[in-house]
Each structure stands twice: as structure tokens, then as C-alpha cells.
Amino acid sequence: MTARYSTWFCLTTGAMLLMALLLVIHAGVRTTADRLILRETTDLVRSLELTDLCLFTEASYTRHLSLADLRTPFQEYPLSLEHFPSGSLAAPPPYLTESHAPHP
């Protein structure tokens, strides 16, 4: 006898719920395990007196967002949509962005 559609539905949904549960457990385990690493990172931040995340290294005002200029919003203000709309249409010249880094 072939399986009913509802059996398939219940199995699929059940499997996905199980998967979701496993991921929740994964999140819990990882969060607990990472606590030590995060504490070490916080210590590094404290000893080096770091202020910012190294997310965008292309300009000083994006590398150190919180230390960016206060009074020149159109020049060096991280929340300005820089040079909009031209900035969203034209990319910087390729010789500025060409990466020599080994591709991982």
C-alpha cells in the first residue's frame, strides 16, 4: 500500500521540526561554548582599547564607525548613504578595489 499524502506531510513537517529542534540545541551548545572565546575577545578589546568592529575596512570612517567625524555628515559620516545615488550606481575604479588576496 502506498503511503497517504497526510503521512508524507506529517513526516516532512515532523522531520523539519526535529531539524529545527536540533538547530536550537546547536545554538544553545555553541552559545555556551563560545562564551569563553567571547570573554577572551572582550579581554582583547579591553587591553587594546578597541572601539570598533573590523567589518568594513575600505575607509577610515567605516573601519572606526564610532570615531568617525561628527560634524561632516556628507563627507565622513557612516550613516549617510554615501554619494547617493551615484555611489550605488558607480563602483570605485577597479585599481582601487582589485584584490590580490588569495581567494579562500
Partner 1 sequence: MPHTLEKQRHIIDFTLASLLRRKGKNGALFTVYTLIVFILASVMFFTYALKEEAALVLKGAPEIVVQRTLQGRYAPIPEEYAAKIKGIRGVMAVRSRVWGYYYDPVFMANYTIMAPESFSLGPGCIALGSGISRMRRAYEGDTISFTGADGKSRNFTISKILPQESQLLSADLILMAESEYREFSGLPPGLASDLTLKVRNPKELSTIAEKVVRLLPDSRPIIRNEILRTYDALFSWRGGLLIIIMSAAVLAFVIFAWDKASGLSAEEKKEIGILKAVGWETSDILFMKFWEGMTVSLTSFLAGTILAYLHIFFTAASLFAPVLKGWSVLYPEFRLTPFINPGQIATLFFLTVVPYTVTTIIPSWRAATIDPDSVLRS
Compute the least distance from the CB of residue 85 to partner 1, in Å. Answer: 14
Tell me the C-alpha distance between 94 and 75, whole Å: 22
Q: Which of 49, 84, 85, 86 is in the footprint of partner 1 by CB under 8 A?
A: 49
Q: Which of 1, 2, 11, 58 is in the footprint of partner 1 by CB under 8 A?
A: 58
List Cα–Cα distances, 30 to 26, 27, 53, 54, 104, in angstroms. 6, 5, 21, 22, 24
Whether the CB-CB separation of 50 and 44 falls below 8 Å is answered with yes
User: Grid coordinates 526535529 are at which residue?
Assistant: 18
Whether the CB-CB separation of 73 and 80 falls below 8 Å is answered with yes
Q: Does 84 bind partner 1 (CB under 8 A)?
A: no
Spell out, one character per residue from 62 to 81, where the chain touches partner 1: x when CB under 8 A holds, - when not. Answer: xxxxxx-xxxx--xx-xx--
Q: Which of 4, 74, 85, 90 is in the footprint of partner 1 by CB under 8 A?
A: 4
Q: How many CB atoms lie within 10 A of CB 68?
A: 19
Residues that bind partner 1 (CB under 8 A): 4-6, 8-9, 12-13, 16-17, 19-20, 23-24, 26-27, 30-31, 34, 37-38, 40-60, 62-67, 69-72, 75-76, 78-79, 91-92, 95-102, 104
